[in-house]
Amino acid sequence: MQPKLHLPADRIAHARLLATRIAAPVQDFIDSHSSVTVERATLRLAGADGANADGVPVPNLVVDQVRAADPALLEDGVLLRYVNALLRGGDSVETLNRKIAEGFDVMSLPLGDRAALEKKAAELVETGMGRIQSMREQRKGKLDEHKDKNNSPLLYLIVATGNIYEDVKQAKAAVKQGADVIAVIRTTAQSLLDYVPFGPTTEGFGGTYATQENFRIMRKALDEAGDEAGRYIYLTNYASGLCMPEIAASGAIERLDMMLNDSMYGILFRDINMYRTFVDQKFSRMINAFAGIIINTGEDNYLTTSDAVEKAYTVLASQFLNEQFGFLAGMPAKLLGLGHAFEMEPGIKNGFLYEFAQAQMAREIFPEHPLKYMPPTKFMTGDIFKGLAMNTMFNFVSKATGQGIHLLGMLTEAVHTPFMMDRYLAVDNARYVMNNIADFAEDIEFRKDGIMVKRAHSVLAETISFMEDIEKTGLFDAIAKGMFADVKRPKDGGKGLEGLIKKGPAYFNPFETYLASALGLGK
C-alpha cells in the first residue's frame, strides 16, 4: 500500500528510538528475573503434564515442592529437580508425571552429577523443541496447500459458550459461513488463576477455559472444517494473565496460530503486578516466536477507559512499545499483530475521517505487521440497525487501509452473546463491503492539507511528546502514575508479585537458552 499521509520518516524513526530507550531498563530487569509461571512453562516444554486428584497440575506441584523445601532454590530454576528425578528413578517422562500426580516429591532425592543432569535436560530440550518445530512445519504445509484461499483481511470470529464441545459446533458453523480465524474466548477471570486447568472443560462463564486439551480438540475440529472449506483456519486463544508463558507453551505444542499477548494489558486491565507481567511476556513471546504464532496486542482496550479522540496517541505509543518488546523477545514484524480499534463516539463530526486516519497511520508506520483491527463496542447501544451501520463503516475502513486481522463486529453487541445468525450477518456484511471496495486503497489519495493528513500528523506529534515524557519518567513509574489508559497501578501492588523470582548465579533454564540462540537474541 502506497503511503498517503506524508508522515515524516525521521519522526517515526525518533519514536522507535524512544521505544528502544524506554524498553531498555525494563529489559534489564526482565533478564535478571524469572517467575513461577516461567518455571512451569519450562516444565511443560520438557513434558511435565497431568494433574493430581485435586486438579493441581503437575508443573504447579513441582514448583510448589521446590518452594516448600527451600524458597531460595527457585533462584536456580526448577527444571534441574525434575530432570534429577527422571535420572534417579530411571523413569520415562510419562511415568514421572504420574508419580508426581500421585504424591511423589522430587525434592526427596539428592541432586546427582551436574553434567549428567545437563545432558538429560538437553535431550528434553531437543524433544520439546522438535515437537513445536514439527507443528510449525504442519502449519506451513497446510498454508501452502490452501495458498491465497483466505480473505484479506482475515475475518476473525469469536466463540464463547463455556463448553469446548459446543464451541466446536459454533466454530465449524462459522467456518462454513466464511470465517478465517476462530478465537475461543477464555472464561471470565481465568487470567487471574495462577495455574492452567487440566483436560477438556464443559463449564465456563463468558468463555471456555484455556487448557491444552481444549486447544487440541479445537485444533482438530478446525483442521477438519478447513479441509472441507478448502482453506486454512487460524486458531486463536489467550497467552495472557498470570500463566502467560504456560499457555503459550501449550499453544505452541497444539499448533495455535494466534495468541492475545500484550506487554501491559495484564497490568492495566487485570491488576497483575507490572514486574511479573513484563517478565512473563518476554518468555511467552520467545515461545510464540519460535512456534511461528502471531500475537495480538491489546491497544483497543485503552479506548475502553480513555477517549479515542483525545487519547489516540496512547494507542500509537503502546504499539511502538509492544513492537520493541516483541523485537527484544525475538519476534519478527510478521508475527506482531499490533492492535487498534474503531472506537470513537459515533456522534463526532468527521469521526469517520479520524478513524480512517488512525487506521491508515498504523498501516503506514507498521507496514510489515499483520495489524489487528477491533470493531466498535464501547458506543454500541442495543440499537441493532445503528450497530450494523457502525460495523459497515468499520468494515470499510479496515479494507481501505489494508488491515491484516479483522475482528468482526456484531450488530447485537450490548444486547446478548451473538447467535450463529448474528455471526453470519457479520461475515456477510464484511464480505459485501470488502468485495465492493476491493481496489479502493490503490485508487485514492489524500489531500496534503486535508483533515486525515492533519489528524495523523497531530497524533504522531502527540505520541512522540508522550513517549519523551515516559522516557524521562521511566516506564514503571509512568504506569504507576496512570499515564496509560488513565489507570494507576502501584509498582509493588497487583496480583502475582509473590511469584516473581530473582535469578541466582546458578540459574538453569536450557529452554530459555535454546530459544535465545534460535531466535538470534544477544547477538
Q: Which residue numbers are catalytic?
A: 265, 300, 372
Q: How is 257-301 classified by DSSP, letter by letter?
A: -EEE--SSHHHHHH-B-HHHHHHHHHHHHHHHHHHTPEEE--GGG
CA 5, CA 448: separation in Å to the nearest integer?
A: 7
* Residue recorded with cell 535465545: 516
H, E, C per residue of 362-392: HHHHCCCCCCEEECCCCCCCCCHHHHHHHHH
End-to-end CA distance of the chain: 33
Give the dihedral of Cα atoms 158, 159, 164, 168; nearest 10 deg.
Answer: -90
| C-alpha closest to that of 324 among 311, 338, 314, 306 | 338
The kind and range of the H/E element at 426 are helix 420-436
CA 87, CA 102: separation in Å to the nearest integer?
A: 19
* Residue recorded with cell 516473581: 500
The kind and range of the H/E element at 405 are strand 405-407
Cα dihedral across residues 255, 261, 267, 268: positive or negative: negative
On whether the CB atoms of residues 136 and 158 are closer than 8 A, the answer is: no
Task: Give 186's DSSP letter.
Answer: B
Cα dihedral across residues 75, 79, 81, 87: positive or negative: negative
Angle, in degrees to the nearest 10, between helices 79-89 and 114-145: 110
On whether the CB atoms of residues 35 and 280 are closer than 8 A, the answer is: yes
> Angle at CA 269, nearest 5°, toward 399 and 402?
10
Cα dihedral across residues 256, 127, 283, 193: positive or negative: positive
